[in-house]
């Protein structure tokens, strides 16, 4: 198949010309044929054609070759290493996450990486470019060296690695899609996202496909299946370690044979500037001049918390380098292997220093210190794909953040230049706030399971023969927001979206009368109504206890149906004042590739629009995490005081009902949630 590149607005002829150029460049780098393994790889296509489709590229991006060139001879011949399967290598919501010490077991990382390679379409890696980087957590650098050696042994011609082994998760997507017009076949991302890092904490690995997004379930299921039968892996373990501390091209050459029969093979590891492609993309997404005008106001102040994750270098490049903010606005922006001993999850509990700085209480209300707090605050998680937005004494729920961005999408050049926003999507547990914005604007709306991979199919719908849904805005209640500029959620993108909104609301506002984050959100509630929302997390519970909770709830759903209840005959529940209209388990039928995802969470939907959702999270590394989502809608026509309740007070009847129906405390032995957000 020709290796075409999709350039927005360019005709197919241009793509064909690019294909010839790409093929010519590949021909200049001979690659030895990869011998067959005892179990040949099965060609598993991503959502019909995402993994092998040639039409999933963007224009722009950096061009390699300007970095310092270091050439060496090396032994590239692969060694075939016998191995045995490791139990439990089943990817969760976003890749495989385990304790670091599990990944350090002999052959554990190697088995999973080889299973990824074996599950790709036949021949896709031969002569290919692969992205390999991570969030900088403990074991990141060592894992990168191993994966580079395995990539060489499996036919890859070139690997791109960020300086220091660092690339944020959204930046990996940007590099895959943008760099050299989008020649990379995919990327291996080393992250456990918002989980802690360190020798005794968490590590993770996932594969992103050619469109820059996480692999869908058809592929991850194939990888898991392969891990159960793997008997050998391939590694070029005589390849020298690569210096990841500085941008450079490391070209290794092996010559075999003599005279006319001599054969030359090269393998390259290019260490690239981690922010280059990503920042260039953000310049195309936003009106940086408008944001700079806002930030120059004497009554405007900003603080950003990188939580000692990979977001730090990107915040420096964007907030300071592009927008001119002083470095003093950056907190905890030096990446640390252990996240400085913290938990890099941007919520009211773990980002407590930022929360206190912004004059916000642990419950999300205004603290007495709010009047002297900065105007705008934000945080990102370990791999910089999640975000938390705060105003002076004001916490913006992720669900409200998504709805506010949707209502202001016309201000964002990325959307406006494409003719406007085409669709919005949210994960099922996320509140219905954005639904009302979509309805008001006449936009298609999609409700998906949790996991960013489901949004990727919608973004690429037109390329796969479906409707045009790009540009698309999407988000999850777990502090994830983004758009189709990449195929991952994007923490800094959300920060710039909010600064864009603030800039518009203050274009003509006199100094001293600045419209803040809380003012804008309250205006939104006055127009669309308010979705009171909270999430209870019970982390690291016994897996059997968690399973009993879900089975009990499935029983509640079955009894509800057997009793003949439904939307036309809701069931009153005791003294709660709630009438249950629907009790089911969410099942998603993908409108693009027609795949079906079952058992995505038990839903209790009430006649007044309130919801209680129960699901098991797939992002932990030990035990199980039970998540309970609670939502109550208050229409804009309600009395003003009903739109200004404390969230805990507004949700109290639902909270009590959820605990009673699920028996979560009795079945797990827990007396309280680990985190409430």
pLDDT tens across 340-366, in order? 999 999 999 999 999 999 999 998 999
Alpha-carbon distance values, 368 to 347, 373, 379 (Å): 20, 10, 22
Of residues 41 and 631, the one with the higher pLDDT is: 631
Q: Is the pLDDT of residue 7 over 70?
A: no
Q: Is the pLDDT of residue 108 over 60?
A: yes
> 550 near 659, Cβ under 8 Å?
no
| Residue 619 binned pLDDT confidence (cut-offs 50, 70, 90) | low
Q: How does pLDDT run across 142-165, given as a tens digit for each residue?
A: 999 999 999 999 999 999 999 999
Q: Is the pLDDT of residue 17 over 80?
A: no
Out of 8-22, 577-591, 594-608, least confident range: 8-22
Q: Is the pLDDT of residue 44 over 50?
A: no
Q: Which CATH number fits domain 278-528: 3.40.190.120, 3.30.110.30, 3.40.120.10, 2.60.320.10?
A: 3.40.120.10
Q: What is the mean pLDDT of residues 318-328?
A: 98
Of residues 465 and 100, the one with the higher pLDDT is: 100
Rounded Cα–Cα distance for residues 88 and 67 (Å): 41
Q: Is the pLDDT of residue 126 over 80?
A: yes
Q: How does pLDDT run across 363-379, given as a tens digit for each residue?
A: 899 999 999 999 999 99
Q: Is the pLDDT of residue 589 over 70?
A: yes
Percent of the chain at pLDDT > 90 equals 82
Q: What is the mean pLDDT of residues 632-651?
A: 94
Q: Return the domain boundaries, the chain.
A: 68-273, 278-528, 532-676
Amino acid 9: pLDDT: 32
Q: Is the pLDDT of residue 88 over 90?
A: yes
Q: What is the mean pLDDT of residues 234-259?
A: 93
Of residues 42 and 247, the one with the higher pLDDT is: 247
- Intrachain domains 278-528 and 532-676 with the same fold: no
Q: Is the pLDDT of residue 3 over 50?
A: no
Alpha-carbon distance values, 77 to 231, 258, 267 (Å): 19, 17, 11
* Triad 117, 119, 120: Cα angle to 5°: 70
Amino acid 262: pLDDT: 66
| 532-676, CATH topology level | TATA-Binding Protein (3.30.310)
Q: Is the pLDDT of residue 333 over 90?
A: yes
What Rg value do the Cα atoms of the chain yield, rounded? 25
Rounded Cα–Cα distance for residues 409 and 411 (Å): 5
Q: Is the pLDDT of residue 131 over 80?
A: yes
Residue 265 phi, psi (nearest 5): -125, 140
Catalytic residues: 193
Q: Is the pLDDT of residue 520 over 50?
A: yes
Amino acid 432: pLDDT: 96
Q: Is the pLDDT of residue 409 over 80?
A: yes
Rounded Cα–Cα distance for residues 448 and 457 (Å): 11
Q: Is the pLDDT of residue 42 over 50?
A: no
Dihedral over alpha carbons 180, 185, 190, 191 (to 10 degrees): 90
The residue among 477, 468, 398, 403 whose CA lies nearest residue 440 is: 403
Q: How does pLDDT run across 465-482, given as a tens digit for each residue?
A: 889 999 999 999 999 999
Q: Is the pLDDT of residue 417 over 60?
A: yes
Q: What is the mean pLDDT of residues 568-581?
A: 86
Q: What is the mean pLDDT of residues 647-668?
A: 94
End-to-end, the C-alpha distance of the chain in Å comes to: 48
Amino acid 143: pLDDT: 98
Q: Is the pLDDT of residue 239 over 80?
A: yes
Output the average pLDDT for the chain. 89
Whether pTM > 0.95 for this model: the answer is no
CATH number of 68-273: 3.40.120.10
Cα atoms in the 13 Å half-sphere on the side-chain side of 620? 15
């Amino acid at each position: 198949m020709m290796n075409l590149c999709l350039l927005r607005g360019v005709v197919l002829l241009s793509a064909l010309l690019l294909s010839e150029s790409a093929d010519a460049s590949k021909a200049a780098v001979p690659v030895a044929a990869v011998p067959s393994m005892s179990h040949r790889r099965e060609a598993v296509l991503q959502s019909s054609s995402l993994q092998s489709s040639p039409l999933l590229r963007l224009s722009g991006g950096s061009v390699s070759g300007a970095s310092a060139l270091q050439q060496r001879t090396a032994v590239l011949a692969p060694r075939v290493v016998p191995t045995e399967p490791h139990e439990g290598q089943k990817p969760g919501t976003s890749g495989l996450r385990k304790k670091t010490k599990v990944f350090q077991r002999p052959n554990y990382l190697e088995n999973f990486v080889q299973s990824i390679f074996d599950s790709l379409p036949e021949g896709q890696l031969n002569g290919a470019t692969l992205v390999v980087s991570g969030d900088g957590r403990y074991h990141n650098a060592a894992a990168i060296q191993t994966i580079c050696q395995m990539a060489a042994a499996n036919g890859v011609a070139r690997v791109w690695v960020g300086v220091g082994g660092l690339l944020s998760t959204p930046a990996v997507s940007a590099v895959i899609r943008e760099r050299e017009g989008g020649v990379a076949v995919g990327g291996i991302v080393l992250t456990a996202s918002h989980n802690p890092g360190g020798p005794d904490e968490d590590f993770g690995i996932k594969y992103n496909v050619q469109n820059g997004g996480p692999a869908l379930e058809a592929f991850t299921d194939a990888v898991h299946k392969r891990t159960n039968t793997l008997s050998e892996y391939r590694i070029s373990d005589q390849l020298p370690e690569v210096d990841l501390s500085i941008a450079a091209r490391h070209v290794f050459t092996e010559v075999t044979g003599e005279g006319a029969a001599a054969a030359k093979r090269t393998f390259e590891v290019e260490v690239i500037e981690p922010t280059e492609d990503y920042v260039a993309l953000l310049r195309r997404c936003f009106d940086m001049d408008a944001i700079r005008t806002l930030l120059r106001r004497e009554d405007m102040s900003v603080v950003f918390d990188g939580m000692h994750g990979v977001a730090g270098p990107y915040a420096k490049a964007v907030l300071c380098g592009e927008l001119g903010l002083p470095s003093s606005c950056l907190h905890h922006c030096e990446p640390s292997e252990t996240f400085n001993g913290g938990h890099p999850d941007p919520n009211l509990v773990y980002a407590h220093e930022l929360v206190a700085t912004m004059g916000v209480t642990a419950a999300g209300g205004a603290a007495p210190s709010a009047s002297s707090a900065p105007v705008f605050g934000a945080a990102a998680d370990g791999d910089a794909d999640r975000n938390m937005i705060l105003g002076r004494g004001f916490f913006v729920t992720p669900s409200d953040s998504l709805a506010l961005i949707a209502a202001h999408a016309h201000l964002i050049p990325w959307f406006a230049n494409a003719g406007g926003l085409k669709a919005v999507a949210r994960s099922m547990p996320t509140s219905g706030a954005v639904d009302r914005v979509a309805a008001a604007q006449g936009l298609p709306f999609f409700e998906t399971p949790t996991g960013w991979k489901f949004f990727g199919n919608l973004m690429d719908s037109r390329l796969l023969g479906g409707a045009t849904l790009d540009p698309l805005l999407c988000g999850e209640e777990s502090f994830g927001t983004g758009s189709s500029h990449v195929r991952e959620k994007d923490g800094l993108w959300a920060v710039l979206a909010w600064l864009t909104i603030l800039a518009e609301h203050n274009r003509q506002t006199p100094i001293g009368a600045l419209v803040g984050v809380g003012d804008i959100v309250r205006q939104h509630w006055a127009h669309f109504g308010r979705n009171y929302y909270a999430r209870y997390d019970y982390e690291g519970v016994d897996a059997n206890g968690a399973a009993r909770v879900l089975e009990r709830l499935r029983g509640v759903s079955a009894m509800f149906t057997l009793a003949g209840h439904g939307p036309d005959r809701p069931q009153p529940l005791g003294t709660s004042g709630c009438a249950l209209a629907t009790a089911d388990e969410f099942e998603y039928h993908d409108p693009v590739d027609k795949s079906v995802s079952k058992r995505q969470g038990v839903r209790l939907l009430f006649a007044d629009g309130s919801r209680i959702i129960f699901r098991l999270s797939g992002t932990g590394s030990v035990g199980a995490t039970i998540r309970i989502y609670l939502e109550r809608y208050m229409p804009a026509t309600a009395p003003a005081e009903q739109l200004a309740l404390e969230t805990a007070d507004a949700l109290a009847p639902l909270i009590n009902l959820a605990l009673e129906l699920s028996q979560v405390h009795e079945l797990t032995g827990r007396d309280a949630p680990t985190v409430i957000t």
